[in-house]
Homo-oligomer: A and B are copies of this chain.
Amino acid sequence: MPAQANLVMLNCSLMKPVRSFASDNNAGVHPAVLRAIAAVNRGHVVGYGDDPYTESAVRNFNRHFGQDIKVFFVFNGTAANCLSLKAFTSSYEAVICAEAAHIYVDECGAPERFTGCKLIPLPTENGKLTVDAVRSAYHGIGDQHHVQPRVISITQATEVGTVYKPDEVQQLARFAHERGMYLHVDGARIANAAASLGLSLRHCTRDLGVDVLSFGATKNGAMGAEAVVFFPKQKKPGVPDFSPALREVGLSDAFKFHRKQGMQLASKMRYISAQFEALLKGDLWLRNARHSNRMAQLLKRELNKIPQVKIVYEVEANGVFAQIPRYAIATIQKRYFFYVWDEKQSVVRWMCSWDTTEADVKQFTNFVRRAVS
Docked-complex contact B44 and A257, CB < 8 angstroms: no
Say if the beta carbon of A148 comes within 8 Å of chain B. yes
| Listed stretches A107-115, A157-165, A203-211, A278-286; interface member | A107-115
Docked-complex contact A108 and B268, CB < 8 angstroms: no
Docked-complex contact A260 and B23, CB < 8 angstroms: no
**Which B residues are CB-close (under 8 A) to A257?**
90, 92, 108, 144, 148
B-contacting residues, A84-117, CB 8 Å: 90-92, 94, 105-110, 112-114, 116-117
B-contacting residues, A16-67, CB 8 Å: 18-20, 22-23, 25-29, 31, 34, 37-38, 40-48
| Listed stretches A75-83, A305-313, A321-329; interface member | A75-83
Docked-complex contact B223 and A109, CB < 8 angstroms: no
Residue from A109, A219, A249, A343 with most neighbouring chain B CB atoms (10 Å): A109
**Which B residues are CB-close (under 8 A) to A249?**
246
Given A263-B79, A263-B110, A44-B29 contact (CB < 8 Å): no
User: Which residue of chain B is the closest to A360 with respect to CB atoms?
Assistant: B44
Q: Mark A231-260, 1 if CB is under 8 A from B, else 0.
A: 000000000000000100110001011111
**Which B residues are CB-close (under 8 A) to A156?**
none
**Which B residues are CB-close (under 8 A) to A47?**
22-23, 25-26
